[in-house]
Structure 1
Amino acid sequence: MSHRISLFGETYVFSDLKHLLACASPQRSGDELAGLAARDPVERVAAREALASLPLTQFLAEPVIPYETDEVTRLIVDTHDPAAFAPISHMTVGDWRDWLLGYDADAASISRLAAGLTPEMVAAVSKLMRVQDLVAVGRKMSVVTAFRNTQGLSGCLGTRLQPNHPTDDLPGIAAALLDGLLLGVGDAVIGINPASDHIATGIDILHMLDEIRQRHDMPVQSCLLTHITGTLTMIERGAPVDLVFQSVAGTEKANAGFGISLSLLKEAHQAALELNRGTTGSNVMYFETGQGAALSSNAHHGIDQQTAEVRAYAVARAFSPLLVNTVVGFIGPEYLYDGKQIIRAGLEDHFCGKLMGLPMGCDVCYTNHAEADQDDMDSLMLLLTNAGVNFLITVPGGDDVMLSYQSLSYHDMLTLRSVCGVRAAPEFETWLDRMAFLDPRRRLKVNPPQALPGLARPLRD
C-alpha cells in the first residue's frame, strides 16, 4: 500500500510501509549505505508527517516481510495480543506518541500494552521522538527480572563485569574480575567473550567463575558469550552454566547467518531452565543485538536498520530473558557513523526494547575508526541512566583488550551512582556491604580492605 503526503507544494509518495519507515528514520549511515534513507531532510520531514497520521492498525494489516517467508514475522503475528492492543487500537502513531508523553501513561499502563505491540509500531513511534522524549518515556518504564539477584528495580542500575582476555588466560581473567568487584560492579552478569570457541577452555572458564562465586557467596550470575550450540554442548558435559547467551537479529535470514533459529533458541531455553540454578528467579537467557546486524549480512529485506533492530526484540521477548543489550556502536561507522548517531541509536534501542517488555541494557561503545570519542560515551551513559536503563557494560579502563573496542570503565559506574543516585541490585549491594566494601553512607570505600584473597590465582590446573 502506498502512502502519500503533500508538503511545501510537493507531493511525496512512499511505495509501502517499509519505505515510509525507512524515510522517517533519523539520518543513519547504514540506511544510506543500503540506499534506504530519505533523499534529503525535507523528504524525511514528509515521511514523519505521513507516519504520524498512520493508524496503528495499519501495522497489523501490512507486514514488512511476508508471513509465509519469515519465521520472525510469524512469531510477531502469532503472538500478538488483541486485548493488550485494544486501549490504543483507535490511535494513529502521532496520537500514541502524545499519549506516551502524557500523564496518563505510567509504568503500569505502558507495561500492559507490551503483548499487543508489534516491533514496527514501536519503531514507528520512536522515529517521531526527540532525544528528550526517548529519555522521558524510557524513564517511565520498568522491566524487572531475576536469577540470583534482581535486575531492573526503580533507582537501580545493574552492571555487566566484562573481564575478557585475548588468550582466555584464567589468571588474567581473574585479575580483571577482581578489579571490577573491588569497584562494585558485576551484579547484572559476569560475562566473558571467549577468544576461541574451544569447548574445554570454555568449561574451564565457567568452572573458575563458579568456584569464585561459591567461595565468596556472591549473589551474581555468570555467562560465557559463546555460540548457543557451544553452550548446549557445555551443558551436556556438566558445566555450571547460569545464563545462555546468543546474538539475535530481526529476520529469519539474519538469524540463519548467526547459525540460529527459533527452535534452537527454544531448545537452549528449556535446557537452561532444567538446570534450575537460579535462586531469586528463573530468567535464564541473555541476548545481544545491534542496529546494522541484518544489513551487514544482506538479510534486511529492504527494512531500515532501526526497524530491523526492533524486530530482534520480538525474538528476545519470546524467551523471557534476564538481560538484553544493544551493543550500540560495535558494528562500526558503516552503520552508525559518529557520536551523534550512536547516542541517538542507543536511546532508541532502550526506548523500543522497554516498550516491547524487555529488560534493556546497553554496551555504550564505539570502534576506533568511528567519528566518536569517550565524551560521546559519557553523554550516552548519562542519558541512558536518566532514561532508566537496566544495566550497562563495563570493561577494565574502558578498553576491551580482546575485542579491541572502547566501552565504559568500571570507574564510570561510580560516577553514575554519585551523579544520578542509582544503586546496584539490592542483593549485590548487601554483599558489598558484608565484604566491607561500603562506607556508612553505602558508598564504595576509597580504600577498601584486603578482600577476596586468592582470587587472582589460577583455580584449575
Structure 2
Amino acid sequence: MAYSIDLGGNRYRFTDLKSLMAKATPLRSGDCLAGIAAENASERVAAQLCLAEVPLKRFLEEPLIPYESDEVTRLIIDSHNRQAFAPVSHLSVGEFRNWLLSERATTPVLQALAPGLTPEMVAAVSKIMRVQDLILVAAKCEVVTRFRNTVGLKGRMSTRLQPNHPTDDPAGVAASLLDGLLYGNGDAVLGINPATDNYHAVTRLMQLLDDVIQRYEIPTQSCVLTHVTTHLEAINRGAPVDLVFQSIAGTQAANDSFGINLAILDEAHRAALELGRGTLGNNVMYFETGQGSALSANAHQGVDQQTCEVRAYAVARRFDPFLVNTVVGFIGPEYLYDGKQIIRAGLEDHFCGKLLGVPMGCDICYTNHAEADQDDMDMLLTLLGTAGINFIMGIPGSDDIMLNYQTTSFHDALYARQVLGKKPAPEFEAWLQRMGIFDGEGRLATGNQLPAPFAHIADRL
C-alpha cells in the first residue's frame, strides 16, 4: 500500500509502510549507507507527518518483512496480545504519541499495554517524538527483573561491572573486579567479554566470577559473554552458569549470521531455568543488541536500522530476560556517525525497549573513529539516567582495553547516582553498606583504606 502527502506545494509519495518508516527516521548514517534514508529534511518531515496519520492497526496488516519468510515477524504477529492492545487500538501513530505523553499513560497502564504493542508500532511513534518526549515516557515505564537481586525499580540504577582483559588474565580480571566493587559497581551483573570463545578459557572465567560471588556473598550474578552454544556446552558439563548471553538482531537473516535462531535460544533458556541458580527470581537471559547489526550483516531486508533494532526486542521479550543492553555506539560511524546520532539512538532504544516491557540498559559508548567524545557520553548518561535506565556499564577509566572502545567508567556511575539521586539494587546496596564500601547514607565510604574483607586481595595482585 502506498502512502502520500501534500506539503509545501509538493506531493510526497512513499511506496509502502517500510519505505515510509525509513524516510521518517531521524537522520543517521546507517540508513544513508543502505540507500533508504530521506533525501533531505523536507522529505523527512513529510514522511513523519504522513506516518503520524497511519493507524496503529496497520502494522498488524502490513508486516515490513513477510510473515512467510521471517521467524521474527512470525513471533511478533503470533504473540501479539489483542486484548492488551485494545485500549489504544483505535489510535493513529500521532494520537498514540499524544496519549503516551498524557496523564492517562501511568506506569501500571503502560505495563499492562506492553504485550499489546509490536516493535513496529513503538518504532513508528519514536520517530515523531522529541528527545524530551522519549525521556518523559520512558521515565514512566518500570520493568523489574530478578535473579539474585532486583533490577529496574524506580529510583534505582544498576551497573554491569565489565572487567575485560586482552588475554583473560585472572589477575587482571580480579584487579578490575575489585576496583569496580569498591566504587559500588556490579549489581546488574559481573560480565566479562572473553578474549577467546575457547570453551576452557570461558569456563575458567565463569569459575573465577562464581568464586568471587560465593566467597564474598555478593547478591549479584555473573555472565561470560560467549556464544549461546558455548553456554549450552558449559551447562551440560556442570560449569557455574548464572545468566546465558547472546547477541540478537531483528531479522531472521541477521540472527542466522550470528549462528542462532529462536529454537536455539529456547533450548538455552530452558537449560538455564533448570539450573535454578537464582535466589530471588528466574530471569536467566542476557541479550545485547545494537542499531546497524542487521545492516552490517546485509540482512536488514530494506528496513531502517532503528526499526530492525526494536524488532530485536521482540526476540528478547520472548525469553523474559534479566538484562537487555543496547551497545549503542559500538558498531561505528558507518551506522551512527556522531555524538548527536548516538545520543538520539540511545534514547530511542531505551524508550522502545521499556515500552515493549523489556528491561533495557545501555552501553553508552563510541568507537575511536566516530565523531564523538566523552562529553557526548556524559550527556547521554545524564539523559538516560533521567529517563530511568535499568543499568549502564562500569569499566576502568571508561576505556575497554580488550574491545578497544570508549564507554562509561566506575566513576561515571557514581556521578549519575549522586546527581540524579539513584541507588543500586536494594540487595546490593545493603551488601555495600555491610562491607563498609557505602556508608549509611549511600555514599562512598572506603577512602584510602581497603575494607577489611578485601584487604588480603591487594597482596595477591
Contact 2:96–2:125, Cα closer than 8 Å, also in 1: yes
Contact 1:436–1:448, Cα closer than 8 Å, also in 2: no
Aligned to 1:27: 27
1:248 equivalent in alignment to 2:248: yes
Aligned to 1:223: 223
Distance 1:440 1:123 in 2: 42
Q: Secondary structure at the match of 2:171?
A: helix
Tell which deviates more after alignment, 437-446 or 11-20.
Answer: 437-446
Q: Secondary structure at the match of 2:376?
A: helix
1:262 equivalent in alignment to 2:290: no
1:184-241 CA deviation, whole Å, 9 max, x = no partner?
A: 1000000000000111111111111111111111101000000001111111111000
Distance 1:27 1:132 in 2: 18
What is the RMSD of the two structures over their aligned residues, measured on CA atoms? 1.1
Q: One-letter code of the match for 2:270? A: Q
Aligned to 2:92: 92
Distance 2:157 2:273 in 1: 25
Q: One-letter code of the match for 1:110? A: L
Q: Secondary structure at the match of 1:13?
A: strand
Q: Secondary structure at the match of 2:265?
A: helix
Deviation at 1:439, TM superposition (A): 2.2
Aligned length: 459
Q: Secondary structure at the match of 2:246?
A: strand
Q: Secondary structure at the match of 2:159?
A: strand
Aligned to 2:177: 177
Q: Secondary structure at the match of 1:185?
A: coil
Aligned to 2:423: 423
Deviation at 1:453, TM superposition (A): 3.7
Percent identity between the two aligned chains: 64
Q: Compute the TM-score of the two structures, normalised by the length of structure 2.
A: 0.98
Distance 2:440 2:389 in 1: 27
Deviation at 1:450, TM superposition (A): 2.2
1:197 equivalent in alignment to 2:226: no
Contact 1:366–1:407, Cα closer than 8 Å, also in 2: yes
Distance 2:83 2:254 in 1: 31
Q: One-letter code of the match for 1:8? A: G
Distance 2:190 2:415 in 1: 20
Runs of 5+ in structure 2 lacking a partner?
none
1:346 equivalent in alignment to 2:346: yes
Aligned to 1:152: 152
Deviation at 1:458, TM superposition (A): 7.3
Aligned to 1:279: 279
Contact 1:290–1:331, Cα closer than 8 Å, also in 2: yes
Q: One-letter code of the match for 1:27? A: L
Q: One-letter code of the match for 2:203? A: I
Contact 2:85–2:117, Cα closer than 8 Å, also in 1: yes
Q: One-letter code of the match for 1:340? A: K
1:79-124 CA deviation, whole Å, 9 max, x = no partner?
A: 0011011000100000000000011111111111111111110000
User: Judging changes above 3 Å, is the alpha-carbon distance between structure 1 residues 229 and 454 closer, same or farther for their aligned structure 2 residues?
Assistant: farther
User: Judging changes above 3 Å, is the alpha-carbon distance between structure 1 residues 257 and 358 closer, same or farther for their aligned structure 2 residues?
Assistant: same
Q: Secondary structure at the match of 2:361?
A: strand
Correspondence list, 1:321-336, <5 A = 321-336=321-336
Aligned to 1:408: 408
Contact 1:437–1:448, Cα closer than 8 Å, also in 2: no
Deviation at 1:442, TM superposition (A): 1.9
1:163-193 CA deviation, whole Å, 9 max, x = no partner?
A: 0000000111000000000011000000000
Correspondence list, 1:89-168, <5 A = 89-168=89-168
1:260-290 CA deviation, whole Å, 9 max, x = no partner?
A: 0000000000000000000011000000000
Distance 1:399 1:313 in 2: 27
Deviation at 1:410, TM superposition (A): 0.3
1:209 equivalent in alignment to 2:218: no
Distance 1:235 1:448 in 2: 41
Distance 2:256 2:429 in 1: 40
Distance 1:394 1:12 in 2: 46
Q: One-letter code of the match for 2:444? A: L
Distance 1:45 1:392 in 2: 33
Deviation at 1:457, TM superposition (A): 7.4
Deviation at 1:455, TM superposition (A): 4.0
Distance 2:446 2:76 in 1: 49
Q: One-letter code of the match for 1:320? A: D
Aligned to 2:188: 188
